[in-house]
Chain A
Amino acid sequence: MFSDNQKISNRQLIRLLDYDALGISTLVLPTALTRILGKDAVFAIGLALLPAFFMIPMLQRAVKKLRQGGLPGWVRYPAGIFYSVEGCLLAAYGAYLLGDMITKNLLVEESFYLVVLFIFVLGGYGISHGIEGRARIYELLYWILLVPLILMLFLAARDVDVDLWTPIATHGIRELLQGTGMVFLFYMISAAAFFLTPYLRKPDCAGRCCRKSMVFAAGINAVVCLLLTGIFGERTLRTMDYPIITLMSMVKLPGGFLERQDVFMVAIWFFTLYAFVNTGMFFASDLPQKLWKRSKKGIWIGCALVLTFLFTVCIYRYAVCRTIFVSIQYGVVLPVSLLLLFILCIRRKKI
């Protein structure tokens, strides 16, 4: 039934990236961005596409050079371990959000640790069978999840008060750059397309897939941001944890035949966050396995699970760890990634 060649198509890659971008960004970005930019948050969402699109040709060129010449060992091994740990961190943060949402909205009296443990066991089983199976499932479920979401957002638009969007342009350049930088980090989740080029049937199309996914992320986040600001107002939005989930519980379906649709809608974020956790753990196990080709994949999956679980527990128990996680993304991952990209792009021959 399946090709079973561990290769995925462009469409499957776009679906995979869309899930990763949709879940975490729509959950976290509106509140975080409103705290910096207030009603101007939507401008940062659009503006951040410029540096993101600028990065794509550079990433394409870097990946091409990697396939041609590879990296020297003194760069390859540290970079591989670096991104492997980054995969664990991203998966841990996604698991923290997922576990927090499950224990707040669904299983109120359940243990957070038990919930995330089960998520990781399920995730480990998912990635152990490779990327092809996951991509096919994501492809099948894509419109089943997206159509209700678009419908709910459309119905929520009836409650928008456009006066809550004004006045605009009340923040300075510094806040705008800060907000744009934050959105740019979320768009870079789509850059995972370039890590997956070995699994693509057409590796040269990774850039196009990445671009499409970023446009999708920008579009959906802009709509969500405008809806939330227009319904709750700037100051209320700043205080909310997961405003998109609250919005789903407030939308009234015409006819009144379904009153607790929020229970189903929350499942969208359960699934997309689970996909995000899976992506992080996949990179965390796949990259070391490519570096040490003779080692068994199961060992790296086990290590990734353990490390990610430890990170998740730290993020859950200590608020300072959440701040440290954000600081690592801005202060370590972004500069190191840009530096590596620069080195790969300017490099003419093997070192």
Chain B
Amino acid sequence: MIKVGKVLVFLTTAMVLLCGCSSTELEERNFPLAAAVTWEETGGYQMALGFQRVSDVADQKTEKENRANIAAAGTNSYELFEEADAKNPGKMDYNHIKALVIGQELLFHSEQLADFLDFVEQQNVIARSTLLFTCKATPEELMACGENLEDNVGNYLKDLITSSQDHKSDAAVTLGDLLKAYHNQDEMLMIPELGLDSGQPVIAGYEVLCGFTPAGYLTSEQGEQLLLSCGELLRYGIAMEDGSLIQLSGIHCQYEIRGNGAQVDETVWISGNIKRFAGEIPENMEELFADELTKQAQEQLREQGIDLTNSYYKLGGYDRTAYARYASDYPAYLANLRIQYVCRFHEI
């Protein structure tokens, strides 16, 4: 009898203490699916959040008012999220955000971006697997274009990236990649830039960060070359000057990085299967393509200081002497880097 009493007391105490679940009622939470953040000299941080349209998922309205988009501002990241939390009834749950768009003003101000990333990381606000974009438009303009879409902005942007048949699944840039670039300071990160085409977001190009410093801009074609050089593509379409269309698949990349005094010579071997879609495959296809890739890579190094092969963080594994020379000097490494491509294709 005493034992039964002890068990009852224990169970009752446990039920009383297990009251944490009361704060997680789904009806009391708001789940933004997209977030756009930027920074202005005068206004500080600006953020817009896009939500699921309730009418899309429910036949009747919920008891609380649920707006499609909300905007918030703050002089620092803490104030920004506090205002966002205050503007909508219920508790915000940012863990379901599918796409985070960082405005170019914020991207080009490393100090403010670092402050935002520190807050997001320490407070565990947004999941690391959230897809990352950048754009020139203001957060409100970007979220407003959700009116022109069949789905909400978050799902639309997620489908924009994940629906690609040519990219490997881990080629998508995420918030975790940006946090990694922020801490490691030795990687190149290519963030898709969103443009608006007939009111709908499209990927217009890529903003590149080298060692967490804005380096330049790449067009879609140049971005594809970067992904090819980094082994992130499943398929790559090659349009030759004579009008031939060739598809490269089964792509495999190998690298060799060797120091030659102050200069660093990198050779990238690209191998794969080629298939003709139109025209004829030139006999010297491998040399032509390798020369074109080499020319593009050298041009980007010279003009924008962008390494299309993202080789800096790999240096330690290939040449310790060069690593010791350029360990904390990414710009000097880029200035002394020479890239050469070699292609080996098998026709199928």
CA distance A121 to B320 in the complex (A): 55
Task: Say yes or no: is B204 at the interface (Cβ < 8 Å to chain A).
Answer: no
CB contact under 8 A between A236 and B183, given known A107-B20, A125-B10, A250-B129: yes
Complex CA distance for A232 and B10, rounded to whole angstroms: 43
Q: Is A178's beta carbon under 8 Å from chain B?
A: no
Mask, A147-180, CB within 8 Å of B = 1, is 0000000000011001111110000000000000
In chain A between 221 and 240, which residues have their CB closer than 8 angstroms to a CB of chain B?
A: 232-236, 238-239
Interfacial residues of chain B within 185-211, with CB under 8 A of chain A in the complex = 185-187
Which residue on chain B has the smallest CB distance to residue A246? B128
Q: Which of these, B13, B14, B170, B314, contacts A163 with CB under 8 Å? A: B314
Contact A249 B20 (CB under 8 A): no
Question: Looking across the interface, which residue of chain A has its beta carbon closest to that of B22?
Answer: A109
Interface residue? B348 (CB, 8 A) = no
How long is the Cα–Cα vector from A250 to B128 in the complex, in angstroms?
7
**Given the complex of chains A and B, what is the CA–CA distance between A106 and B176 in angstroms?**
21
Contacts of A125 in B (CB 8 A): 10
Chain A residues near B317 (CB, 8 Å)? Answer: 162-163, 165-167
Q: Which residues of A contact B68 (CB under 8 A)?
A: none
Say yes or no: A109-B23 contact (C-beta < 8 A), given A125-B10, A159-B170: yes
A204 proximal to B (CB < 8 A): no
Tell me the number of A-to-B contacts counted with CB atoms below 8 Å. Answer: 55
Assess whether A201 is interfacial by the CB under 8 Å rule: no
Q: Are B23 and A235 in contact (CB under 8 A)?
A: no
The residue that B20 contacts in the complex, of A109, A121, A165, with Cβ under 8 A, is: A109
Which residues of A lie under 8 Å from residue B121 when comparing CB positions? 239
Docked-complex contact B316 and A235, CB < 8 angstroms: no
Asked whether, in the complex, the Cβ of A233 is within 8 Å of the Cβ of B17, the reply is no
Q: A163-B317, A166-B316 are in contact. Are A236 and B17 (CB under 8 A)?
A: no
With CB as the reference atom, state the residue of chain A lying closest to B122.
A241
A125 to B317 Cα, complex, angstroms: 53
Given contacts A159-B170, A246-B128, contact A167 B316 (CB under 8 A): yes
CB-CB under 8 A from B13, the residues of chain A are: 121
Residues in B with CB closer than 8 Å to A107 are 20
The docked-state distance in angstroms from the alpha carbon of A104 to that of B186 is 30
Inter-chain contacts of B71 with A (CB < 8 A): none
Contacting residue for B17 out of A114, A159, A234, A252, CB 8 A: A114
* Contact present for A234 and B184 (CB under 8 Å): yes
Interfacial chain B residues near A250, Cβ < 8 Å: 128-129, 176
Q: B20, A236: Cβ atoms under 8 Å? A: no
CB-based nearest A residue for B311: A163
Q: Does A2 contact B (CB under 8 A)?
A: no
Flag whether B313 is at the interface (Cβ < 8 A). Answer: yes
**A233, B129: Cβ atoms under 8 Å?**
no
With A and B bound together, what is the CA distance between A125 and B10 in angstroms?
A: 10
When A246-B128, A250-B129 are in contact, do A239 and B183 touch as well, CB less than 8 Å? yes
B333 at the interface (CB under 8 A from A): no
- Which residue of B has the minimal Cβ distance to A165? B317
Within the assembled complex, what's the spacing in Å between the Cα atoms of A234 and B20? 36
The CA of A158 and the CA of B168, in the complex, are separated in Å by 12
Contact A106 B20 (CB under 8 A): yes
Say whether A4 faces chain B, with CB atoms less than 8 Å apart.
Answer: no
Contact with A along B5-34 (1 / 0, CB 8 A): 000001001100100100100000000000
Give me 13 A-to-B residue pairs in the complex whose CB atoms sit less than 8 angstroms apart, sorted by A's number. Answer: A110-B20, A114-B17, A158-B170, A159-B170, A166-B316, A166-B317, A232-B180, A233-B183, A233-B184, A234-B184, A236-B184, A238-B183, A239-B183
Chain B residues within CB distance 8 Å of chain A: 10, 13-14, 17, 20, 23, 121, 124, 127-129, 169-170, 176, 179-180, 183-187, 313-314, 316-317, 320, 323
A residues near B, CB below 8 A? 104, 106-110, 114, 118, 121, 125, 158-159, 162-167, 232-236, 238-239, 246, 249-250, 252
Known: A118-B14, A235-B183. 6 other contacts (CB 8 A): A110-B20, A163-B316, A165-B317, A233-B180, A236-B180, A246-B128
